[in-house]
Amino acid sequence: MRNLIVSYKTLPSSIRRALETMYPEGYEDDTFEFELPGKQTICKAIRVTLEGVNYLIKLEQRPKITDFLADEEW
């Protein structure tokens, strides 16, 4: 079985149509977030298996925000 990581922007139209039929009410509940190794980026994605291929579809990206404690007493 093949594994592919693709962006939603470059997704073929046939896969987009399959997503619409699999998730007619939206796929927001099935998404997850992961951090790209070596980058300060968090990606939101969904996993889909179609025609013997496992797709990891990246939906959106955002910069990772790191909060440092500025409290002097800590």
* Contact yes or no for 34/43 (Cβ under 8 A): yes
Quick check: 40 pLDDT over 60?
yes
Quick check: 71 pLDDT over 70?
no
* Domain range summary for the chain, segments of one domain joined by +: 2-63
Cβ atoms within 10 Å, residue 55: 20
Strand ranges (E), 1-74: 2-7, 32-35, 41-50, 53-63
**pTM for the full predicted model:** 0.76
Q: With cut-offs at 50, 70 and 90, classify the pLDDT of residue 73.
A: low
- N- to C-terminal Cα separation, the chain: 51
Distances (CA, A) of 22 to 8, 16, 61, 67, 69: 15, 10, 23, 38, 44
